[in-house]
Amino acid sequence: MRKEPNCQFWLLTGNDAAHLPKVDAYVLIRDYTRKGIINWVPDNVVIDTICNSQGNRQPFVMETVKADDNAKFGFFSLLKVKVDISLLHTRKGPSQPVPRFIGNLIVFVLNLIGPKGLEFARYSLDYHTIRNYMYVNRTWGKQRADRHIPSYAKKLVDAYNQNGVIDQMLTREKPSTW
């Protein structure tokens, strides 16, 4: 194992990597000035620039944001099943987690119908940007958050906030656990 100069990762070469399983790995190079990093890749590594992208991330982004926000506030539901009204008043979730086989079933179904490849990566970026936007707004307040949130994040949130869903979620009272 050797460490390249001015580099923040370890590069496994030759016999060092022989015992590791062969798996696909993805590297995102954002611009041409950093493309030189590819020159560090050993000759026995295949570089493929073809990426698959399948599905539509937008509905999954908003449903994940809503579910995550509801969970933070203690409102739990599974596939839009009605929740016992007493749980809503106590702001506590169910006493037991969802059984593992149901969780595995949900993951299986989402794998079939959810976004794949680059679209899944975009889903993850959109979801985390919106979640962080909401957290900063709730923690710092709207005025201070507006000064610190980057314009790309505001633009993304505006695209998902066409019908005011995100604004409506931001008006909720903060849970006492924050």
Task: For residue 10, give the 3-state DSSP assignment.
Answer: strand
Output the furthest CA–CA distance in the chain (Å, rounded): 62
- Helix then strand count (H, E) for the chain reads 7, 4
Alpha carbons 53 and 107: distance in angstroms, whole number: 19
Q: What is the pTM of this model?
A: 0.59
- What pLDDT was estimated at residue 134? 95
pLDDT tens column, 140-175: 999 999 999 999 999 999 999 989 999 999 998 765
pLDDT tops 50 at residue 83: no
Exposure string of 96-135, with b = 16+ CB inside 10 Å and e = fewer, is: eeeeeeeeeeeeeeeeeebbbebbbbbbeebbebbbebbe
- What pLDDT was estimated at residue 157? 97
- What pLDDT was estimated at residue 111? 78
Burial of 57 per CB tally in 10 Å (0-12, 13-18, 19+): buried
Alpha carbons 140 and 43: distance in angstroms, whole number: 49
pLDDT tens column, 26-82: 666 666 666 666 666 666 666 666 567 788 888 889 988 888 888 777 665 444 444
- What pLDDT was estimated at residue 72? 76
Q: Judge whether 163 and 136 are in contact, CB under 8 Å.
A: no
pLDDT tens column, 94-137: 556 667 887 788 778 877 888 888 888 888 899 999 999 999 99
pLDDT tops 80 at residue 2: no
Alpha carbons 29 and 47: distance in angstroms, whole number: 12
Query: What are the domain boundaries of the chain?
Result: 2-40, 55-170
